[in-house]
Structure 1
């Protein structure tokens, strides 16, 4: 009989661990799952019972929530630094056993801890292929994937071998319990330009980035660029021209690595996945961004793409979007202190509306063209990460709900889904119809999630460590 040991910390993930236990019991049976010290008879030495239980287990699920790493005891000491901590003992013993498959199971939008954040005895854990159990409505989908992966592992493990007595000395076979990471990571080259305050190009250099190409059929590809993890200052400084109060307070955010669409989703890509295209600018529009799509349409595209590829595609979080847009810069635009219509598609002419004039230039930069429509993706220079059209062309939907400031915002790059105005969703990047101040890296925009306008589109991301909620 399969035996699965669920390791979790009560202060970190008691509720979701209970849900995981219930799903596994429903599939494998009660006798196949060990979850809690409540299962230990009174008076029995926990260490002896742990060793006996692990002798019978083939799989240990290490449930990791957002406070798992830094949970402290009554004296303020980090629990993982205590050699007698039960969770540490469970995982130390599991990692020592070559016949036990240890699977990190990420819950509550948690990320795997870094190697240097763990005690020496647990530093093999981040290298183990993991899984995730996201909140509803995706919990049962993730659990189905986990159960299928475990069943495959048990089937492989139970296959007869030429020398059965050697099984205990043989490492467990690998099994894919999370969305597939692109198997090959080719690179592409691109130009990055920098401008001065007047919009003159002062530097042009060649850069390189890793990418993965998703085959959508009929010769249509969707390219993703690898975005390295890092920390950045989110929001705009008080003196930035065009700044709104909702762009502050500035705060540092740590963003894990992820993959992001090289371009906004095109009409051809949307048609290939969804079987329809309601874009206004559809004439000769296959390589233009899809537009006139609501937030719900964008979510549906991500879900359908996930089904087709076995990878969890989703909309970017607002923090991921700004981090990816800036690509290490701190200026209003990734090109520098200003922008020109030679570098992006936006309204480069003045507009007077209700007595107010919205200038077609930003700062000391020049005025320019107003194309009055979208342009083909990739028509303008990329940023230092290799992403195109992050300024202008179409506004891009993000996961987050609208908050009028960053007070209390997450610092880990996750989507801000609690509080705020639950009736509104975030967009970033500006568009062909808007003036340059709206194209700044820090500029935020809001819309009802069912709104469909010809200046709204989206791009997708993939990241095994992130969760998604709709």
Structure 2
């Protein structure tokens, strides 16, 4: 079912039936949520003239990513990038995508989403796993630092192996934040009462979504900086899927 190999110089696990490449995310503890230091970094970008509109919507929505809390994450596998159109067709052969320009592009699912989730032999990451993976040991706005992210950081197609490799973070994961990615958690505003063990919050209602910068390009204002590691919102329409899985037995 799984094979170990080296992908762009890093260890990886390939799911043999589908060909989807996963990276092993090491366990650890991190501070989850939008910190005051990160908010100060956004204000600094505004002061430097790097905001087209206003940061007030961003600041108002910050409470949905607070309070910052410590979360323990156990090791797990996460797909190197969101599922592409070609990869979705492994499970849904008739799948058509209105958003991707090539089969190597990120698949954004609408009506086919639940069908895919029923067929996937994987799980969705919890949003704690997602943010931990996106931060990759950093505490800044993005894994690249506190500067304003720009369109050069967006990665929406994985046909160019060199560009995909250049977009990887320290965990060997690419494009975290570029597409809106579905998480296992049911949406809840803020982190009050959220688990500290990285398990997803369960219940009825829409799921939580992370990322989505490429879906809002060109950005209109600071509130749309969805590449940020802590940005989160309620699922409403199309979404990408980046599957997670337990570590294969040794």
* Post-superposition offset of 1:299: 5.0
How big is the alpha-carbon RMSD for the aligned residues of Structure 1 and Structure 2? Answer: 2.3
Mapped partners of 1:282, 1:251: distance in 2:
36
Give yes or no for the alignment of 1:447 onto 2:235. yes
Q: How many residues align?
A: 217
* Post-superposition offset of 1:300: 3.7
Q: In structure 2, what is the equivalent of residue 291 of structure 1?
A: 108
Give 3-state SS (helix, strand or coil) of 2:23's partner. Answer: strand
Instruction: Flag the structure with larger Rg.
Output: 1
Q: Structure 1: which 5+ residue stretches go unaligned?
A: 1-179, 191-207, 307-312, 346-373, 466-470
Mapped partners of 2:65, 2:225: distance in 1:
13
Q: In structure 2, what is the equivalent of residue 389 of structure 1?
A: 175
- Picking from 217, 235, 246, the partner of 1:463 is 246
Query: Is contact 2:25-2:77 (8 Å) kept?
Result: yes
Change (3 A) 1:409 1:291: same
Give 3-state SS (helix, strand or coil) of 2:150's partner. Answer: coil
Query: Is contact 2:21-2:80 (8 Å) kept?
Result: yes
Mapped partners of 2:8, 2:84: distance in 1:
21
* Post-superposition offset of 1:442: 0.1
Query: 1 or 2 for the larger relative contact order (CA 8 Å, sep ≥6)?
Result: 2
Q: After superposition, where does 1:16-415 map in structure 2 within 5 Å?
A: 182=2, 184-189=3-8, 208=10, 210-216=11-17, 221-239=19-37, 240=39, 241=42, 242-243=58-59, 244-283=62-101, 285-293=102-110, 297-298=112-113, 300-306=115-121, 313-338=122-147, 339-345=149-155, 374-376=156-158, 379-380=163-164, 381-392=167-178, 394-415=179-200
Change (3 A) 1:215 1:433: same
Query: Is contact 1:225-1:386 (8 Å) kept?
Result: yes
Change (3 A) 1:252 1:305: same
Query: Is contact 2:154-2:213 (8 Å) kept?
Result: no
TM-score, normalised via structure 2 length: 0.78
Query: Is contact 2:77-2:247 (8 Å) kept?
Result: no
Give 3-state SS (helix, strand or coil) of 1:186's partner. Answer: strand
Q: Structure 2: which 5+ residue stretches go unaligned?
A: 43-57
Query: Is contact 1:227-1:258 (8 Å) kept?
Result: yes
* Post-superposition offset of 1:446: 0.8
